[in-house]
Amino acid sequence: MSLTGEIEAGDGVEFEKQLLVAREMVVKKRDPDFDDQYSTMPDLDIRLDLSSNEGGDLGAALKIAQIVRDEGISTLVRKGRSCASACAFIFLAGEIHQAFSDPAVSRTLEPGGYVFFHSPHPRRRLGTFAEGRIAVRTMLQVLGPRLKADLAVQILLKEPTEYLSIDTIADAVKWEVKLEKFRIPWPRRAGLLQACRNYLELKQNILVGDFVAKRDPTSTEQPVETSDEDNNDADNSAAVPQKLDALTALEHDLLPEGSSELERIRTEFNTPNLSRLIYIGNGEVASQFIFTIGEGEPIICTIWSSPYGLNVSRNERLQMTAKSLGREATYARTAHIPYWYEFPPDTALSAISADFEQ
């Protein structure tokens, strides 16, 4: 389904009618003998394609948002399209309902698409303070747990002429947005390290410090020559070229394989795979990193790739084999995150756009 253009008063009722018609058409196409008088309409995977530069009537948008939540409809904004103002609240309502599990957030953005928010307010006129309060209360009631408290505050602090938008990797994580059609970074230590940091800081709200096994810029030690393919992406020279992209600069910050300092740290922490890019078969890689955390115990992050994304575990004693990591991936303590976590948090989403499905 799609919703395009300005949202007008009454569109909520019309959307409800169109949704019912669409459901009946799909169900009867699958089962010509289906009779809605005696049968319960089954759940269908429906995605609502949004495109509205103008936004529109807030009341109608919130009614549509409520239907989207109640019916378990995913929302999507494609590359080159915008979903602004009232439309953005429909985007936030995206949900998916699956048997034997709780409803889950399901809002998708293609890099190069845009979502803009501002504080809800009566349309086309200033309105009264009471009307503004009603609009805010309705927004919070409709979106419920789908809108985190801190993000709700950010929206409410915006004036009608000011916008809050989803522009960066950090924004996508905070707003729990799934990205589609993005480019995947080439597998290297820097990307896996950044993914660990993004997961800990943006998803787990753990303020980590620096990472262990960082190159000392004042060190004169030269790395030992190695033919290990683990280090293909790293430049072992002491001097860092200017104007490097963020991930390449981060790769330069890592101690190179063969460094005596790296071996010393591995021994100290009893982590032989620290900052090592290990190939675990079928094109997949794994590594391990340590972050300082104030005066507390350092955090060890083990991370490995799979055909569907990245896996992160704080189990520090994992064996870096496909069998061991595959087993670990089935446990609740392992988090599954997308490949785009490998980009620095301030990376613009438009910079990672691609024209193919992941």
CATH number of 141's domain: 3.90.226.10
204 — pLDDT class (breaks 50, 70, 90): very high
Q: Which two tokens stand for residue 68?
A: 């989207």
Under 8 Å between Cβ of 168 and 348? yes
- Are residues 202 and 172 both part of a single domain? no
Lowest-confidence range among 118-132, 256-270, 279-293? Answer: 118-132
Mean pLDDT of 92-105: 89
Q: Could you give the CA distance from residue 301 to residue 314 in angstroms, rounded to a whole number?
A: 5
Task: Give the end of a domain, one of 150, 179, 208.
Answer: 179
Q: Read off the tokens for 200.
A: 């800990």
CA distance linking residue 14 with residue 81, whole number of Å: 23
| pLDDT surpassing 60 at residue 224 | no
Whether 290 and 262 map to the same domain: the answer is yes
Segment 245-262 mean pLDDT = 92
Residue 79 has pLDDT above 90, yes or no: yes
> Which pLDDT does position 124 carry in this prediction?
46
Q: Is residue 173 a part of any domain in this protein?
A: yes
In whole angstroms, give the CA distance from residue 93 to residue 146.
7
Q: pLDDT tens across 315-348, in order?
A: 888 899 999 999 999 999 999 999 999 999 999 9
Residue 178, Cβ density class (10 Å: 0-12 exposed, 13-18 middle, ≥19 buried): middle
Q: What pLDDT is attached to residue 130?
A: 55
Residue 166 sits in the same domain as residue 270: no
State the pLDDT confidence band at 126, using cuts at 50, 70 and 90: very low
* Angle between helix 58-71 and helix 11-30 axes, rounded to 10 deg: 30
Whether 285 has a pLDDT exceeding 70, the answer reads: yes
Query: Do 127 and 84 fall within a single domain?
Result: yes
Q: Is 129 in the same domain as 203? A: no
Please check whether residues 138 and 235 belong to one and the same domain: no
DSSP 156-195: HTS-TT--EE--BHHHHHHTT-EE-SBPPPPP-HHHHHHH
Within this chain, do residues 19 and 148 fall inside the same structural domain, yes or no? yes
Q: Is 196 domain-assigned?
A: yes
If asked whether residues 274 and 139 sit together in one domain, one would say no
Instruction: State the Cα angle at 111 between 150 and 305, rounded to 5°.
Output: 85
Output 42 or 174, whichever has higher pLDDT: 174
Domain count, the chain: 2
**Does pLDDT of 45 surpass 70?**
yes
The DSSP bridge partners found for residue 336 are 311
* Same-domain check for residues 32 and 173: yes
CB 250 within 8 A of CB 227: no
What pTM did the predictor assign? 0.84
Separation between Cα atoms, residue 358 and residue 352, nearest integer Å: 12
Tell me how far apart the terminal alpha carbons of the chain are, to the nearest angstrom: 22
Q: Does a structural domain hold residue 33?
A: yes
- Examine the fold and report which residue of 127, 145, 179 is the final residue of a domain before the chain moves on: 179
Alpha carbons 324 and 316: distance in angstroms, whole number: 13
Q: How far apart are CA 289 and CA 273, in angstroms?
A: 9
- pLDDT band of 276, cuts 50, 70, 90: very high
CB 67 within 8 A of CB 40: no
Mean pLDDT score of the chain:
85
Q: What percent of the chain has pLDDT over 90?
A: 58
Of residues 167 and 141, more confidence is placed in 167
* Confidence category of residue 357, pLDDT binned at 50, 70, 90: low
| Interior angle at CA 12, CA 7 and CA 13, nearest 5 | 135
Element (H, E) at 134: helix 129-143
- Three-class DSSP category at 290: strand
* Residue 41: pLDDT over 60: no
Helix (H) or strand (E) holding 76: strand 73-77
Calculate mean pLDDT across residues 209-214. Answer: 88
CA 112 vs CA 52, 80, 143, 171: distances in Å: 15, 6, 25, 14
Residue 358 inside a domain? The answer is no
**Cα–Cα distance measured from residue 153 to residue 275, given in angstroms and rounded to the nearest whole number:** 39
Q: What is the mean pLDDT of residues 141-165?
A: 82
* Contact criterion met (CB below 8 Å) for 111 and 353: yes
Separation between Cα atoms, residue 179 and residue 263, nearest integer Å: 38
Show which of 131, 149, 179 is a domain's final residue: 179
The CA distance from 127 to 191, in Å, is: 49
pLDDT in tens, 5-39: 999 999 999 999 999 888 777 776 766 665 654 44
Same domain, 21 and 164: yes
Flag whether pLDDT at 225 surpasses 50.
Answer: no
Between these two residues, 144 and 311, which has the higher pLDDT value? Answer: 311
Q: Does residue 43 lie in a domain region? A: yes
At residue 294 the predicted structure's pLDDT band, cuts being 50, 70 and 90, is confident
Crossing angle (nearest 10°) for helices 246-253 and 189-198? 100
Same domain, yes or no: 16 and 144? yes
pLDDT band at 101 (very low <50, low <70, confident <90, very high): confident
pLDDT band at 226 (very low <50, low <70, confident <90, very high): very low
- Is residue 351 in a domain? no
Q: Are residues 163 and 195 in the same domain?
A: no
In a domain, 356, yes or no: no
Mean pLDDT across 86-106? 90
| pLDDT at residue 99, as a whole number | 79
Let me know if residue 24 belongs to a domain: yes
Looking only at the bridges linking them, the beta strands covering 95-96 and 104-105 are antiparallel
Where in the sequence is the domain holding 335, given as residue range(s)? Answer: 189-342
